[in-house]
């Protein structure tokens, strides 16, 4: 077992909730979380629907290991059609709400339709009800969280919520849970707000008990934890520096996209790095970092809890931002910092707080500001259009002003909320948008890490590092080292990472475990918990099936092989320094081989054979 077997279906149009049994065959074919919810979405939603219309559905889903003692077993995902990319969206979050949902007895919640009035869903074990959201609509996530805690009079409820950005139609709005963990990418929060659903409040006291072989499960999870604690990354680098452990490493190898990806190295990286977060500041002698923190069941604890210097211009007169809260992760530090040329760690932490407070993806936000800065510096965007903001690379003030406006959905922030693709099109320079399928890039320059170019171009949710993190192999040598500048062997590497990651994302576990774990560490944990036999080989088949199902959804939605590409800048403008100096990303040299090993046509369509082999 390990699944609860219960699906909660919420019809927002009619205002009804109903319980139905989980489709067990689909759980066997797609495991859980990302895979399972994508199956439901693909079966129930026409991929061509308007992502923000009532016909789109929004699924919150756990994995079979969510809510167990398996290390990091607390994840949940949000699956829907993305308004940013038009492709399938699947955003994964840690924190505690996923486990709480499972403890309440639910594998997933399917939201359909659109509520006439703003509402929120309250779940207390088997009891679920839609309640009016008048008191919290129009408020920030942090405010709403406080109000809901007061209303429910229970300190143990867990909440996920959308902010003012989502309400204003920001296309990369996140769903934030537990105040500062987020299902961050592709605008899943925008879809939630479009349905007039403000929050989900969960309290679960039933627990997770139906483990197939409890003794073997305890032994397998125990062994897994030992591997994590013995590993230098998961047992050392991540707890100490968080994902920010990467900032100096990636910058040194000149794969740090800088100033809208014009350059590949940021001179201010050491000022915004994981190490910098440990340095005591002048004013009060405290470091930016207060402590590390774990998500549910996680024995790694990469999370950053940080404070802003009380004397910093951003918060001088705002004591509400003096408390400790979710601090900079690598991706946020990169997008808000290196990509905009800003090296003021307090300004970045403030912008990051705002992204959490009102639910915005800091990657897409930072990268959109970076694109706007380039437009501004070349004169394509004027001071009149920015509402008076001097939008220059390196300006902390410009960044934090933009963050305030975008988080609140006001003024020029409305335009920034469209994302970099639509913004650059609007101002006549579509080539300056650093996106794939309309979604902004994360923090690894594919000119210096060739495999990542292919991973970005073929990612089913647009540019993303978490769909196939070949950085592991190309930079860190996990599970084995490959040459980051070579294209040979990368199609195979990308496919292997994509399929394995689809499994991890469907299990309830965190992808960061894969710095130490392979599927050989994960399979015994799944096998001991879940009905049926789960070998590494079978899991890889599941991963490949999930990947192809997502691809199929995207093709049906109208995307084609032509969308599997990178912006011109990364294909034509060579890196200016570092080991990749003079190189571009050779994505189209890798593509034919990739399509071939995927079992797709030269145009990137699934062949009938591939469908049959995977049972699609």
> Which of the listed partners (ligand SF4, another protein, none) does 510 bind, with a CB threshold of 5 to 8 Å by partner kind?
ligand SF4
Asked if 76 is part of the footprint of another protein (rule: CB under 8 A), the reply reads no
Question: Interface residues for another protein in 81-100 (CB under 8 A)?
Answer: 96
Residue 72 or 260 having the CB closest to ligand SF4: 72
Q: Which of 63, 94, 118, 604 binds ligand SF4 (CB under 6 A)?
A: 94
Could you give the 3-state DSSP secondary structure of residue 58? strand
Nearer to ligand SF4, 246 or 606 (CB): 246
| String of contacts with another protein for each residue 187-206, x by CB under 8 A | -----------------xxx
User: In this chain, which stretch among 40-48, 296-304, 357-365, 518-526 interacts with ligand SF4, using CB under 6 A?
Assistant: 296-304
Scan residues 55-74 and list those touching ligand SF4 (CB under 6 A). Answer: 72
| 146 sits near another protein (criterion: CB under 8 A) | no
Residue range at the interface with another protein (CB under 8 A); choices 161-169, 279-287, 348-356, 363-371: 279-287
Q: Which is nearer to ligand SF4, 328 or 584 (CB)?
A: 328
Q: Which is nearer to another protein, 210 or 576 (CB)?
A: 210
| Region 213-232 residues binding another protein, contact defined as CB under 8 A | 214, 218, 225, 229
Cβ partners under 8 Å of residue 37, min gap 6: 59, 61, 77, 79, 90, 108
Indicate the length of the chain as a whole number.
616
Q: Is 298 in the site for ligand SF4 (CB under 6 A)?
A: yes
Instruction: Indicate whether 115 belongs to the interface with another protein (CB under 8 A).
Output: no
Residues 6+ apart with CB under 8 A from 321: 308, 314, 315, 350, 353
Q: Considering beta carbons, is residue 179 or 485 the nearer one to another protein?
A: 179
CB 121 within 8 A of CB 203: no
175 part of the interface to another protein, by CB under 8 A:
no
* One residue of 189, 303, 362, 468 binding ligand SF4 per CB under 6 A: 303
252: tokens are 């040194």
Residues 6 or more apart from 14 whose CB is under 8 A from it?
A: 113
Residue 512: name its binding partner from ligand SF4, another protein, none (Cβ under 5 to 8 Å by kind).
ligand SF4
Q: Are 62 and 102 in contact (CB under 8 A)?
A: yes
Q: Which of 601, 589, 63 is CA-nearest to residue 296?
A: 63
Cβ 345 to another protein, closest distance in Å? 15
Distances (CA, A) of 490 to 1, 273, 451, 592: 37, 29, 5, 12
Is the Cβ of residue 40 or residue 321 nearer to another protein in the bound state?
A: 321
Give burial (CB, 10 Å; 0-12/13-18/19+) of 276: buried
* Contact (Cβ atoms closer than 8 angstroms) between residue 103 and residue 205: yes
Interface with ligand SF4 includes 301 (CB under 6 A)? yes
* Paired tokens of 57: 């559905």
Contact status, residue 78 vs residue 94, Cβ threshold 8 Å: no
Is the Cβ of residue 6 or residue 240 nearer to ligand SF4 in the bound state?
A: 240
Cβ–Cβ < 8 Å for 348, 330: no
**Which of the choices ligand SF4, another protein, none does residue 103 contact, using the CB cut-off of 5 to 8 A by kind?**
another protein
Q: How, if at all, do strands 325-326 and 435-436 pair?
A: unpaired
Give the residue carrying structure tokens 């900032």.
247
Binding residue for ligand SF4, selected from 294, 363, 530, 549, defined by CB under 6 A: 294
Q: Which residues of 424-460 are buried (b: 16+ CB within 10 A; e: fewer)?
A: beebebbebbbbbbbbbbbbbbbbbbbbbbbbbbbbb
Q: Which among ligand SF4, another protein, none contacts residue 94 (Cβ within 5 to 8 A by kind)?
A: ligand SF4
Phi-psi map region of 387: left, alpha, beta (phi>0 left; psi -120 to 50 alpha) = left
67 binds another protein (CB under 8 A): yes
293 binds another protein (CB under 8 A): yes
97 binds ligand SF4, rule: CB under 6 A: no
Q: Which residues bind ligand SF4 (CB under 6 A)?
A: 72, 94, 294-295, 298, 300-303, 510, 512
Q: Which residues bind another protein (CB under 8 A)?
A: 67-69, 71, 96, 103, 156, 179, 204-209, 214, 218, 225, 229, 239-240, 275, 278-279, 286-287, 289-299, 301, 303, 305, 307, 323-325
């Amino acid at each position: 077992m390990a699944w609860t077997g219960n699906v909660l279906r919420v019809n927002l149009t009619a205002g009804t909730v109903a319980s139905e049994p989980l489709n067990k065959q689909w759980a066997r074919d797609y495991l859980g979380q990302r895979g399972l919810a994508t199956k439901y979405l693909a079966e129930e939603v026409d991929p061509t629907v308007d992502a923000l219309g009532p016909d789109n559905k929004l699924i919150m889903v756990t994995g079979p290991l969510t809510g167990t003692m398996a290390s990091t077993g607390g994840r949940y995902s949000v699956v829907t059609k993305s308004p940013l990319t038009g492709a399938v969206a699947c955003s994964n979050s840690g924190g505690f709400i996923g486990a709480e949902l499972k403890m309440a007895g639910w594998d997933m919640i399917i939201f359909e339709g659109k509520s006439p009035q703003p509402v929120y869903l309250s779940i207390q074990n088997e009891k679920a009800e839609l309640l009016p959201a008048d008191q919290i609509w129009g408020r920030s996530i942090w405010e709403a969280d406080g109000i809901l805690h007061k209303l429910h009079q229970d300190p143990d409820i867990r909440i996920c919520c959308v902010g003012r950005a989502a309400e204003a139609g920001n296309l990369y709005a996140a769903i934030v849970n537990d105040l500062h963990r987020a299902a961050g990418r592709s605008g899943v929060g925008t879809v939630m707000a479009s349905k007039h659903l403000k929050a989900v409040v969960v309290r679960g006291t039933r627990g997770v008990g139906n483990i197939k072989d409890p003794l073997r499960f305890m032994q397998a999870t125990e062994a897994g934890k030992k591997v994590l604690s013995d590993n230098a990354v998961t047992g050392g680098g991540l707890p100490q520096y968080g994902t920010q452990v990467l900032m100096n490493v990636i910058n040194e190898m000149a794969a740090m996209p800088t100033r809208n990806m014009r350059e590949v190295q940021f001179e201010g990286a050491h000022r915004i790095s994981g190490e910098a977060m440990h340095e005591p500041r002048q004013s009060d002698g405290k470091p930016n970092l207060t402590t590390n923190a774990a998500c549910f069941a996680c024995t790694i604890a990469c999370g950053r809890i940080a404070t802003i210097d009380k004397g910093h211009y951003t918060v001088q007169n705002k004591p509400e931002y003096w408390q400790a809260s979710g601090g900079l992760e690598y991706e946020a530090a990169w997008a808000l910092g290196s990509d905009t040329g800003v090296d003021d760690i307090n300004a970045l932490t403030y912008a990051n707080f705002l992204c959490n407070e009102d639910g915005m993806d800091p990657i897409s936000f930072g990268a959109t500001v970076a694109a706007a800065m380039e437009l501004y510096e070349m004169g394509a965007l004027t001071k009149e259009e920015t509402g008076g903001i001097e939008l220059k690379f390196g300006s902390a003030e410009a960044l934090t002003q933009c963050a305030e406006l975008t988080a609140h959905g006001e003024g020029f922030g409305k335009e920034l909320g469209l994302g970099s693709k639509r913004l650059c099109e609007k101002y006549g320079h579509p080539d300056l948008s650093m996106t794939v399928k309309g979604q902004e890039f994360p923090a690894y320059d594919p000119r210096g890490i060739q495999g990542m170019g292919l991973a970005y171009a073929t990612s089913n949710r647009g540019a993303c590092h978490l769909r196939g993190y070949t950085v592991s192999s190309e930079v860190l040598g996990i599970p084995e080292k490959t040459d980051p500048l070579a294209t040979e062997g990368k199609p195979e590497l990308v496919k292997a990472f994509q399929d394995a990651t689809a499994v991890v994302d469907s299990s309830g576990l965190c992808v960061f475990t894969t710095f130490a774990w392979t599927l050989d560490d994960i399979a015994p944990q799944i096998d001991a918990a879940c009905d049926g036999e789960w070998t590494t080989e079978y899991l890889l088949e599941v991963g490949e099936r999930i990947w192809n199902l997502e691809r199929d959804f995207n093709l049906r939605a109208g995307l084609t092989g032509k969308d599997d590409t990178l912006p011109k800048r990364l294909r034509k403008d060579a890196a200016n320094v570092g080991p990749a100096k003079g190189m571009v990303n050779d994505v189209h040299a890798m593509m034919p081989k990739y399509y071939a090993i995927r079992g797709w046509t030269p145009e990137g369509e699934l062949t009938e054979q591939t469908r049959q082999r995977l049972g699609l």
